[in-house]
Structure 1
Amino acid sequence: MNNNKNPSQKLSVWSYFVPPPPPLLEQPWREVSVEYQSNLEFVRSYQPENGQVQHLRILLYGPVGHGKSSFINSVDTVLKGRPSVLVQTNAIFGNSFSTQYKTFKFLKSPGATYSFVFNDIMGLEEDFDDGVSVNDLKLALRGHVREDYTFNPEQELKEGDDGYNSDPTLEDKVHVLVGVVAADAVSRLPDQMVKKIRKVRLAASALRIPQMAIITRVDEACPEVKKDTSNIYKSNYLKEKVERFHQLLGIPENCIFLLKNYSHEIESNDKVNAAIVCALKQMLHYGDDYLNNL
């Protein structure tokens, strides 16, 4: 009896084995750390080139609970150099914790604020009659939603309502639109959610408003990043998430940024800050381009 196995059989078995890609790349595919201090200096000294506005307006939108409000708090933490809670957030998933249209300014010194603002908005939800409506988001883009307006999923805002701004200025309009999605949810966004996001994107494109996206909770999605936040742009897994998000919604990959929001930290951390400031700097550049090209 011949117990020797055919060598060709061994080769055929091993030919099907493809080693998994390494969890981390040797070099980051986007550099953020070395530019951190210069990026932060740019953000701190930023002024809109267009003299018609005092503040560049950035609107955050996305599914409920993916980190819109936490990102605003994270930006404030970076600017203050210590943990900050500018926006109340909810650690328990459910309906949107943000229900009003709010403008958030960042204190630079007593009586002075930075020259950019964020608008938080009620989150998108899968069901048609839940969360902020796509039409209300379109109105916000054009500056038609008044400060403190409370969104009602069952009744869209319309002209003549108390919350409707019939004569928006350039300052009221959105200058940059930023989608916010959690890294661990990119591959499982429901079809209805994707359709809603696409409708918002089309409306912004028609208005020539620049668009970006930030992918949050990277530390929860990738163990290597949880160990060391500076590994964000070395992670193969997170790179795949950026590519997937690009394919899903058509946002160019160089307009999609990875970051970790502050959550449990009690001290400011330059490794966390670097990715946040990198994304923020690009928002300001895109907004300035929009204002200058009007």
Structure 2
Amino acid sequence: MGSLLSKAEFATVLADQKVNFGDEIVLVCEAKTEDLTATWQKNGQKLDCVHDKHIVEKRGNLFSLRIKKADEQDEGMYTITLKDKQKDASCSAQVTVELKEWRKVEWNQDIMIRELRDFNIRREEVEQLNFLLYGPVGAGKSSVINTIKTIFERRLYINCLAAEGSTSQTIYYKKCEVGNSKDGFLPFIFNDIMGVEEGDQSGVHTDDIISALKGHVKEGYPFNPNSPLTELNHYYLKNPSISDRIHCLVCVIQADKISMMDEDTIQKMQRVREEAKKIALPHVILMTRVDTTCEMTKKDLRSVYKSKRINKKMEECRVALGVQKSCIFPVKNYYEEKDIKEDINCLMLDALTKIVHWADDYVAEYSS
């Protein structure tokens, strides 16, 4: 119910409104007496009525404001003030405009888990699809792996060390399988690397990321920010096969930190993006921490594709790294949870099913 500042002249007050993008907003109140004048405000300022957009009406004791085709700009606190010769009274209501869901998610984890377990790579000699995770320190690369392993292990999995501070915890090139010997391993591997950091003396060297993309880096390679891998190093694989190459580049970025990324880090990531484009490698973004970025998503993860804030963050990702929006996936990693949550699983699985198919397309195209 909207807030009431003085109820002396109101029979009913304005009620808070939550409408979908494009719908009509209707605010109505009733006065106890006649012969009153009304003024409308939005967020404490006089409402500027736009022709064919705002319709202000008075019918007897009823006062109404209709706003056609609601959009983001129509959100706010609306106040009506009724006046006569002696006094005035006001009441207010909050209007929230929700986006219609612009992307559908399968909120049944069993369907997607079964699809991924039964997935077959089209090129027989490639036994596993290789995904390279990269991004700023603390973005959640290792946590993404933990979350995916949690889904398929059906228990909380925390084996991959996640960065808590400003320094990367991943110091070696590490391959992480998904599954186990009892239930079987899935046909893909996640390759974890040191985080991208500002400056030339810290974080993964950009040349090492590019070498990994092309399959030149062997597992166990110790990252050196000051000196990238060379052909003389025994961790360098000179003639990688299609099975050794990366089949999809996965950038992991925190949704609530996109606007705070320094220019040096962005440029490093853009360089990696350009190298991936040269070899036609699929490039996607996993945008983590959607629950801390948006209050709506925090309350209900299934509202992620209705959230204007998440949509805005996806657009910021697109602009910063040049990845089209259809390749950007908002996700939530397991962090403080003590129990497995199907909504967390489904959001990650929705991204994973699409990424696996795109990686397989790359393998098939590479063999033609």
Give the fraction of aligned pairs with identical amino acids, expressed as a percent.
Answer: 33
Q: What's the counterpart of residue 145 of structure 2?
A: 72
CA contact (8 A) 1:23 1:224 kept: no
Residue matched to 1:54 = 127
CA distance in structure 2 between the partners assigned to 1:189 and 1:16 by the alignment: 39
TM-score (norm 1): 0.91
Tell whether the 8 Å contact from 1:222 to 1:238 is kept in structure 2 after alignment. Answer: yes
Distance 1:35 1:197 in 2: 34
Aligned length in residues: 287
CA drift at 1:47? 2.0
Q: 1:1-294 to 2 correspondence within 5 Å?
A: 13-15=46-48, 18-20=73-75, 25=98, 27-34=100-107, 36-90=109-163, 92-110=164-182, 112-294=184-366
Q: Counterparts of 1:157 and 1:16 in 2: how far apart (Å)?
A: 64
The one-letter amino acid of 2:171's match is T
- SS at structure 1 position matched to 2:340: coil
More strand by share: 2
Mapped contact 1:72–1:86 kept (Cα < 8 A):
no
Uncovered stretches (5+) of structure 1, i.e. residues with no partner = 1-6
User: Structure 2: where are the runs of 5+ without partners?
Assistant: 1-38, 51-72, 77-94
Q: Which has the higher contact order (CA 8 A, sep 6+)?
A: 1
CA deviations 1:225-282 (Å, max 9, x no partner) are 2222222212110011001211222101000000100011121111111110011111
Shift of 1:16: 9.1
Whose helix fraction is larger, Structure 1's or Structure 2's?
Answer: 1
The amino acid of 1:75's aligned partner reads I
Give the distance between the partners of 1:245 and 1:88, measured in 2 at CA.
26
Tell me, yes or no, if the aligned pair for 1:24 and 1:236 is still in contact at 8 Å: no
Post-superposition Cα deviations, 1:46-104, rounded to whole Å, max 9, x if no partner, equal 121111210000000000000000000000111122211231223x2121100110110
Structure 1 residues 25-34 or 44-53, which shifts more?
25-34
Deviation at 1:34, TM superposition (A): 4.0
The CA distance in 2 between the partners of 1:98 and 1:64, in whole Å, is 9
TM-score with structure 2 length normalisation? 0.73
What RMSD over aligned residues (CA atoms) do the two structures have, in Å?
A: 2.4
Q: Which residue of 2 aligns with 1:3?
A: none
